[in-house]
C-alpha cells in the first residue's frame, strides 16, 4: 500500500462537508505529484491545500501533508465513499512480446562429473525442464575453474546440441579442486531466440596429484597491441632454492631472449606461487606465433680468491719458560705459495676451568 493511501483519513459533518488528510514523500512529490479523487456517481477531484509546516509534528522536508475538502448531499447508512489517487503525469510503458523471440529456459539439470579410465573428466547434464519444444536445438555455455579462482577468470566453452563434454588432462591443473556450471539458451536451429538461462547448480571434482616439481599451468595472453603476458605456477618451496625464467623466440629463426622482470604472487590455500612476465611485441600479425619456455635458471656468483683466503692453522704450538720467567709461544706457520703475503695471528690464552679468554693480535711477515 502506498504512503498516500496508507495515510489517507476522511471525515464529514453528515450534512454537506467532507474533509480528508493525507501525505506523500517530498521527493516523490517533486517528481510526480498525486491528486485525490472521490468517487460517487462520478470521479470528483478534491480541492487540496498543503498544510503549513508549523502545524506538523514530522520534519517538513520528509513529507508533504495535504488537507482536501469537497461537498456532497447524499449521506446515510449503506452509502459509502470511495477514494483514489492518480499521478499528475501519465506513467505507462507498453511492449509487444513475441513469445518465440523472448525465450529464457530453466537452468540445465543434474550436472555431474565422472572420472573416465583414460584419466579425462566427463561433464554431463540434462536439458532443462519444459524445453522439450526446443528439441535438441539448445546452445550451452560451460564454465569451469579452480575453487579459489573467480568466475570472471573461468574457462568458458560454447557447445551446441550436446549434453556432455570431456575435459582432458591438458585442460586441467594437477592436484587441484575444480568447480563447473552450465547454462542454456535456444539455438538458431530451434526457431526460437532469447537469452541464457540462470546457471545450473555447480559440480565439483579433484584432479590427481602430479609430481609437483615441474612448472605448471603455463599460458599466455596477448593484449592485442604490444604485450604478451605469460604466467605459470611453481611450488613455493622450490622457489626458495631455484629461480625460474621465461625465455621466448618471436620466430623460429630468432635468437632466444629472456623476459624481464618476473613478478611473483602467492596463491590462496595452495602451496604454489604464480609467476608472470610481459614480453614486448612489435610488428604483430595474425600469423605471429611466439615460442615460450619456462625453466630453471643457472645462478652464478663471482668470488675473488685473493680476497677470501682462509689460512690453515699453525702447527706444533709450544710454550717455553724464558730466563726472565716469561712464557714464550712458538709455532710453525702454514706456508703460502706467495711469500709476499703477510699473515696475521691471533693468540688466546686462559686458565684451566675458566671461560674468560685473553686475546692478543700480532702481525708477522
Q: What is the pLDDT of residues 263-293, one digit of tens each?
A: 999 988 889 999 999 999 988 888 889 999 9
Give the closest residue to 314 by CA, choosing from 338, 347, 356, 339.
Answer: 347
Burial of 66 from C-beta contacts in 10 A (0-12 / 13-18 / 19+): buried
Task: Round to whole Å and give the CA distance between 287 and 106.
Answer: 42
For residues 129-156, give the mean pLDDT: 87
Q: Is the pTM for the entire model greater than 0.85?
A: no
- Cell triple for 352: 684451566
Q: What is the pLDDT of residues 92-140, one digit of tens each?
A: 999 999 888 898 999 999 999 999 999 999 999 999 887 666 766 899 9
| CATH number of the domain located at residue range(s) 3-87 in this protein | 2.60.40.10
Where are the domain boundaries for CATH 2.60.40.10 in the chain? 3-87, 105-206, 216-296
At 306 the three-state DSSP class reads helix
Scan for cell 620466430, then name that residue: 251
pLDDT confidence of residue 323: 87
| CATH number of the domain located at residue range(s) 105-206 in this protein | 2.60.40.10
Q: What is the pLDDT of residues 162-208, one digit of tens each?
A: 999 999 988 999 999 999 999 999 988 888 889 999 999 999 999 99
92 in Cβ contact with 32 (< 8 Å): no
Architecture of domain 216-296: Sandwich (2.60)
Amino acid at each position: 500500500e502506498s504512503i498516500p493511501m496508507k495515510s489517507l483519513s476522511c471525515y464529514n459533518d453528515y450534512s454537506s462537508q467532507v474533509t480528508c488528510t493525507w501525505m506523500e514523500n517530498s521527493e516523490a512529490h517533486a517528481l510526480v505529484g498525486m491528486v485525490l479523487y472521490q468517487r460517487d456517481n462520478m470521479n470528483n477531484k478534491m480541492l487540496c491545500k498543503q498544510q503549513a509546516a508549523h502545524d506538523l509534528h514530522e520534519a517538513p522536508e520528509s513529507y508533504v501533508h495535504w488537507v482536501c475538502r469537497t461537498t456532497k448531499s447524499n449521506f446515510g447508512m449503506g452509502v459509502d465513499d470511495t477514494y483514489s489517487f492518480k499521478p499528475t503525469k501519465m506513467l505507462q510503458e507498453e511492449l509487444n512480446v513475441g513469445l518465440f523471440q523472448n525465450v529464457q529456459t530453466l537452468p540445465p539439470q543434474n550436472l555431474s562429473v565422472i572420472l573416465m579410465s583414460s584419466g579425462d573428466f566427463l561433464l554431463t547434464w540434462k536439458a532443462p525442464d519444459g524445453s522439450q519444444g526446443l528439441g535438441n536445438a539448445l546452445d550451452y555455455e560451460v564454465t569451469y575453474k579452480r575453487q579459489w579462482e573467480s568466475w570472471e577468470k573461468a574457462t568458458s566453452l560454447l557447445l551446441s546440441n550436446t549434453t556432455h563434454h570431456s575435459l582432458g588432462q591438458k585442460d586441467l591443473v594437477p592436484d587441484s579442486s575444480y568447480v563447473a556450471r552450465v547454462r542454456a539458451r535456444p539455438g538458431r536451429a530451434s526457431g526460437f531466440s532469447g537469452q541464457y538461462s540462470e546457471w545450473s547448480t555447480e559440480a565439483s571434482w579433484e584432479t590427481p596429484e602430479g609430481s609437483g616439481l615441474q612448472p605448471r599451468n603455463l599460458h599466455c595472453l596477448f593484449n592485442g597491441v604490444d604485450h604478451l603476458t605469460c604466467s605459470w605456477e611453481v611450488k613455493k618451496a622450490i622457489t626458495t632454492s631455484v629461480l625460474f625464467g621465461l625465455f621466448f623466440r618471436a620466430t623460429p629463426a630468432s635468437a632466444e631472449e629472456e623476459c624481464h622482470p618476473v613478478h611473483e604472487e602467492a596463491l590462496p590455500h595452495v602451496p604454489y606461487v604464480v609467476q608472470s612476465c610481459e614480453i614486448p611485441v612489435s610488428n604483430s600479425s595474425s600469423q605471429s606465433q611466439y615460442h615460450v619456455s619456462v625453466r630453471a635458471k643457472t645462478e652464478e656468483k663471482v668470488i675473488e680468491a685473493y680476497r677470501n683466503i682462509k689460512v690453515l692453522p699453525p702447527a706444533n704450538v709450544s710454550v717455553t719458560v724464558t730466563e726472565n720467567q716469561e712464557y714464550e709461544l712458538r709455532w710453525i706457520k702454514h706456508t703460502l705459495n706467495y711469500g709476499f703475503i703477510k699473515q696475521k695471528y691471533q693468540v688466546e690464552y686462559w686458565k684451566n676451568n675458566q671461560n674468560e679468554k685473553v686475546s692478543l693480535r700480532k702481525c708477522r711477515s
